[in-house]
Amino acid sequence: MDYFRDIWFIENVFRPLLDVGILSFLIYQIYRLIAQTRAVQLLKGAFFLLIIYAVAFFFHLETLLWIMHSLATVLVIVVAIVFQPELRAIFTRIGRGDLFKLSTGANVEHIETVVNALEVLAGRKRGALIVFPRQVGLKNLIDNGTRLNAELSSSLIITIFGYDTPLHDGAAVVQGGRLISAGCFLPLSEQIDIRRSFGTRHRAALGMAEETDSVILVLSEETGALSLAYDANLHYDLSAKEVSRTLRNLLTAGGESAEDSEDISVAS
């Protein structure tokens, strides 16, 4: 009797709860990935079209149903083209296991070293571009620059970006308390709604954030504004405290999640 009771519990209680629990977890994690890119607009648009289709189906609006059926294939192709950078970022993050991996483990002292250096450079009206890798490897990017593998220090960053050296035009890659490479050229953004006033550094930072999960710190040479690019978004004109806090949240093992850093402005 106990055996059959156990079978009934597994079949009618445990398995449905396990099924719903796993499905809910996956839906939530996928939504987190989507919400961190512009593809959240795609999700809202798809939900709106679903409502229209439900209304047309319920009231038997044959003409509207025929149009929606005819355009379904075309819409899928258009969405794949328009949101190609966002979809690529989502599948890249799923492929590297972002559903289960939460932290990257950077050092707070290293973050303050970089931010202090950029504050000095801002006073000198010099620009800078710093890349902080997370989970996606950047070997090709590092190889296209000049490998330094030097101990990270504010003076080194100021030397690279504070003078017209061969390395000051590209980006520097900082990881694990070391300045790995400098003079690296980043891919430019494919977004069409970016501010026209943004220069090459900002477009390169946003392009890098679209293709990888890196966090990119930008210092504008013209205005001295600090900006951060990550998760396919550019957060413009931040204070040094905002930059430090956001970098700690995104890079350190004990930091908050990326969603908790979304109270800073997004440039468009």
Looking at residue 105, its pLDDT comes to 46
Q: In this structure, is residue 267 part of a structural domain?
A: no
d(CA 176, CA 168): 21
Of 46, 67, 95, the residue that ends a domain is 95
Whether residues 183 and 144 fall in one domain: yes
Of the residues 66, 95, 124, the one at which a domain ends: 95
**pLDDT on residue 76:** 81
- 75 and 201 together in one domain: no
Q: Which of 41, 68, 95 is the last residue of a domain?
A: 95
CA angle 256-257-258, nearest 5°? 125
Same domain, 148 and 191: yes
Measure Cα distances from 33 to 28, 146, 183 in Å: 9, 33, 31
- Statement to judge: residues 64 and 135 lie in one domain: no
Cα separation, 80 vs 74, whole angstroms? 10
Q: Please, what's the b/e burial string for 62-76 (b: 16 or more CB within 10 A of its CB; e: otherwise)?
A: eeeeeebeeeeeeee
Same domain assignment for residues 170 and 50: no
Residues 15 and 47 in one domain: yes
Domains in the chain, number: 2
Enclosing domain of residue 168:
108-261
Contact 127, 225 (CB under 8 A): no
Which CATH number goes with the domain that contains 189?
Answer: 3.40.1700.10
Q: What is the pLDDT along the chain (268 residues), one digit of tens a residue?
A: 555 556 766 777 778 888 888 888 888 777 766 665 556 666 777 888 889 989 988 988 889 889 888 888 888 887 777 777 667 766 766 665 655 554 444 578 999 999 999 999 999 999 999 999 987 778 888 888 999 999 999 999 999 998 888 888 899 999 988 999 999 999 998 777 777 768 889 999 999 998 888 999 999 999 999 999 998 889 999 999 999 999 999 987 555 444 444 445 455 4
Whole-angstrom distance, CA of residue 136 vs CA of residue 142: 13
- Quote the CA–CA distance of 94 and 264 in Å, as a whole number: 25
Q: Do 46 and 115 have their domain in common?
A: no
Q: Are residues 169 and 79 in the same domain?
A: no
**Assigned domain for 268 exists:** no
Predicted confidence at residue 103, as pLDDT, reads: 44
240, part of any domain: yes
Instruction: Decide if 175 is inside a domain.
Output: yes
Pair 112, 241 in one domain:
yes
Residues 242 and 120 grouped into a single domain:
yes
For residue 186, give the nearest of 136, 145, 239, 232 by alpha carbon: 145
In-domain check, residue 100: no
Question: What is the reported pLDDT for 33?
Answer: 63
> Does any domain span residue 101?
no
d(CA 205, CA 212): 11
Q: What is the pLDDT of residue 197?
A: 67
Give me 78's structure tokens. 């258009």
**Tokens 């003078």 sit on residue:** 163
In a domain, 72, yes or no: yes
DSSP summary character for residue 218? E
Q: Which residues partner with 252 through β-bridges?
A: 106
Residues 256 and 175 placed together within one structural domain of the fold: yes
Task: Report whether 216 contacts 208 (CB < 8 A).
Answer: yes
C-alpha angle with apex 56: 53 to 61, nearest 5 degrees? 145
Same-domain status, 130 and 241: yes
Give the integer Cα–Cα distance in Å for 126 and 143: 25
In-domain check, residue 235: yes
| Residue of 212, 142, 216, 138 lying closest to 183 (CA atoms) | 142
152: Cβ–Cβ under 8 A, 6 or more apart, which residues? Answer: 110, 113, 114, 174, 177, 178, 179
> Tell me, what's the pLDDT at 231?
87
